[in-house]
């Protein structure tokens, strides 16, 4: 699955279809109030505050993929509804509490889809504008928090959805693509007629309310509930105070760093307290053969590929004038391999990592230190970043709407290990991440069947453009040097 901006996706023209999630009238009412996750509570309160001071910060996490035959719109609508019925986090209605966030969950029988035919999109540019506008319709403070649609052509269809970050993370995009595609294949391969009523025939408007029947795409076990995961996690940390020994790792990092947020170590030309227009791009750093070779080098040095990549970033930063100690934040997937492995939600913790990057240290030495640092991080992964932030930096926690300055951040994911990955290349599976403003630089490294890619979003300043280019060039050189010896 390639992470790429929708502007660079080159999606062909076709007819626009939308499916809006609606609550069914006559439902008995939502379930009792449920607990939300740490990330959700902070994200929602930030959005509320930003709205109150008329400084909205918009973002989305979207995805798209291709169906490579003539589409059955009824089956596609049923597959999209199946996604919402399968993951209760998408059916939750979120309600602010005193300094927190709760939610009520509609049952799978209390939601339906309303189909809207949007007419022809005659050029790729029109498709891009249509998707940009549709993706941005999701709003943290409004329900629903997912919007879905398709661009239909005679022999292929682009299926898309967009979520507010409140209910999703990057890995959820692959899970959702797999759920929709699997359900669609099951529905269209059955001998019985496709379900009726979910959408109007191709090219015509649907009725104003058209609930789709629940599909029966197999007997897959329902995924674990993100809301139940959140309840368990928050109960485990309910009694934690600022002097709790479980915060020792965060506390020590804060003291050495001078704060919880490690600054990006190079000048990006950004002014404190100001957001800039984002510049986004995706490029391949290594082809499939070369990244496999680099992984072999890392294993021979006694480390993991992910830590080899982190070591490469640290060396590239040092060579551009960065410090002799790498400090950064990195996301951790909290799903594990059990009940939550294929659950949608914001299952991401963000944890600090630091290790030396001596002036003459090569890849082997830095990789070994990064590997040791990663083991230390893993030992403290039970404490969530938002909880540590609230306890150890309460003033910042209460007022910050976004990161206080350009923050050093490292992210890597092997997309070949995600649910449905064997279909990603044929489906042209893509994730689209967007933010309305940026005060730093973010790199999302990801590996697909075609190689190692980086998706970048950085502030639109001359300095950030120059630093980004120099850093990616230096990083690529660090990765390729051991392959030529």
| 74 in a structural domain | yes
- Domain span at residue 9 reads 2-231
Statement to judge: residues 220 and 256 lie in one domain: no
Statement to judge: residues 261 and 345 lie in one domain: yes
**pLDDT in the model for residue 213:** 44
**pLDDT in the model for residue 199:** 36
Sign of CA dihedral 398, 401, 405, 406: positive
Task: List the CATH number of the domain containing 208.
Answer: 3.30.559.10
Statement to judge: residues 458 and 416 lie in one domain: yes
Statement to judge: residues 148 and 127 lie in one domain: yes
Statement to judge: residues 79 and 212 lie in one domain: yes
Q: Mean pLDDT in the chain?
A: 90
| 475 in a structural domain | yes
Which of 211, 231, 251 represents a domain boundary (last residue)?
231
Question: What distances in angstroms separate CA 18 from CA 8, 140, 210, one per listed residue?
Answer: 22, 20, 12
**pLDDT in the model for residue 393:** 87
**pLDDT in the model for residue 31:** 59
Task: List the CATH number of the domain containing 316.
Answer: 3.30.559.30
Statement to judge: residues 129 and 265 lie in one domain: no
Please choose, from the candidates 400, 274, 406, 392, the residue with its C-alpha nearest in 3D space to the C-alpha of residue 329: 406
**pLDDT in the model for residue 55:** 76
Provide the whole-model pTM: 0.92
Statement to judge: residues 183 and 72 lie in one domain: yes
pLDDT tens digit at each of 485 positions of the chain: 999 999 999 999 999 999 999 998 766 656 557 889 999 999 998 898 888 888 778 899 999 999 999 999 999 999 999 999 999 999 999 998 877 899 999 999 999 999 999 999 999 999 999 999 999 999 999 999 999 999 999 999 999 999 999 999 999 999 999 999 999 999 998 533 333 333 333 333 333 334 444 445 544 678 999 999 999 999 999 899 999 999 999 999 999 999 999 999 999 999 988 899 999 999 999 999 999 999 999 999 999 999 999 999 999 999 999 999 999 999 999 999 899 999 999 999 999 999 999 888 899 999 999 999 999 999 999 999 999 999 998 877 766 777 889 999 999 999 999 999 999 999 999 999 999 999 999 999 999 999 999 999 999 999 999 999 999 999 999 999 988 75
Statement to judge: residues 226 and 348 lie in one domain: no
212 with 195: CB under 8 angstroms?
Answer: yes
Statement to judge: residues 319 and 414 lie in one domain: yes
**Which strands sit side by side in the sheet containing 34-35, from one edge to the other?**
34-35, 100-105, 92-97
| 477 in a structural domain | yes
Please tell me whether the peptide bond between 144 and the residue prior to it is cis, using omega within 30 degrees of 0: yes
343 with 221: CB under 8 angstroms?
Answer: no
**pLDDT in the model for residue 404:** 84
Statement to judge: residues 226 and 306 lie in one domain: no
250 with 380: CB under 8 angstroms?
Answer: yes
Name the burial class of residue 207, with classes exposed (0-12), middle (13-18) and buried (19+) by CB atoms within 10 angstroms of its CB.
exposed
Statement to judge: residues 301 and 446 lie in one domain: yes
| 436 in a structural domain | yes
Statement to judge: residues 192 and 245 lie in one domain: no
**pLDDT in the model for residue 220:** 66
Which of 178, 208, 231 represents a domain boundary (last residue)?
231
| 168 in a structural domain | yes
Considering its fold, how many domains does the chain have in total?
Answer: 2
| 113 in a structural domain | yes
| 236 in a structural domain | no
**pLDDT in the model for residue 30:** 61
Which of 206, 231, 256 represents a domain boundary (last residue)?
231
| 261 in a structural domain | yes
Q: Which two tokens stand for residue 365?
A: 């030495």
Question: What distances in angstroms separate CA 384 from CA 80, 328, 347, 388, one per listed residue?
Answer: 32, 16, 11, 6
């Amino acid at each position: 699955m390639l992470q790429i901006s929708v502007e660079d996706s080159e999606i062909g023209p076709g007819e626009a279809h939308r499916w809006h999630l609606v609550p069914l009238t006559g439902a008995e009412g939502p379930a009792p109030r449920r607990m939300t996750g740490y990330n959700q509570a902070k994200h929602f309160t930030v959005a509320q505050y930003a709205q109150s001071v008329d400084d909205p910060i918009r973002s989305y996490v979207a995805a798209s993929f291709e169906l490579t035959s003539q589409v059955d719109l009824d089956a596609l609508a049923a597959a999209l509804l199946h996604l919402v019925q399968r993951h209760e986090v998408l059916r939750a209605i979120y309600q602010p509490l005193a300094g927190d966030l709760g939610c009520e969950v509609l049952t799978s029988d209390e939601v339906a889809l309303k189909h809207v035919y949007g007419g022809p999109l005659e050029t790729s540019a029109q498709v891009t504008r249509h998707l940009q506008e549709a993706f941005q319709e999701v709003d943290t403070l409004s329900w629903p928090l997912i919007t879905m649609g398709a661009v239909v052509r005679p022999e292929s269809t682009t299926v898309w959805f967009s979520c507010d970050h409140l209910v999703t993370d990057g890995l959820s995009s692959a899970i959702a693509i797999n759920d929709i595609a699997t359900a669609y294949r099951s529905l269209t391969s059955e001998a019985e007629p496709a379900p009726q009523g979910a959408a109007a025939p191709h090219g015509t408007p649907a009725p104003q309310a058209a609930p789709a029947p629940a599909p029966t795409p197999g007997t897959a076990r329902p995924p674990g509930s993100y809301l139940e995961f959140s309840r368990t996690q928050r109960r485990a940390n309910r009694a934690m105070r600022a002097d709790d020994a479980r915060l020792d790792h965060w506390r020590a990092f804060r003291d050495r760093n001078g704060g919880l947020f490690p600054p990006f170590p190079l000048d990006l030309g950004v002014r404190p307290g100001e957001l800039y227009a984002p510049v986004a791009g995706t490029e391949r750093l290594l082809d499939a053969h070369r990244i496999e070779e680099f992984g072999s080098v890392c294993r021979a040095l006694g480390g993991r590929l992910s830590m080899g990549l982190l070591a490469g970033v640290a060396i590239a930063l040092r060579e551009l004038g960065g410090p002799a100690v790498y400090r950064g934040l990195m996301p951790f997937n909290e799903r594990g391999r059990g009940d939550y492995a294929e659950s949608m939600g914001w299952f991401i913790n963000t944890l600090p990592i630091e290790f030396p990057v001596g002036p003459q240290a090569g890849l082997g030495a830095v990789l070994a230190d990064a590997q040791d640092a990663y083991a230390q991080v893993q030992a403290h992964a039970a404490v969530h970043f938002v909880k540590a932030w609230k306890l150890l930096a309460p003033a910042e926690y209460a007022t910050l709407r976004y990161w206080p300055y350009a923050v050093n951040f490292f992210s890597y994911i092997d997309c070949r290990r995600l649910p449905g990955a064997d279909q990603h290349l044929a489906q042209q599976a893509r994730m689209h991440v967007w933010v309305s403003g940026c005060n730093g630089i973010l790199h999302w490294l990801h590996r697909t069947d075609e190689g190692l890619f980086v998706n970048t979003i950085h502030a639109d300043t001359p300095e950030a453009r120059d630093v980004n280019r120099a850093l990616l060039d230096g990083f690529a050189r660090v990765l390729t040097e051991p392959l030529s010896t």
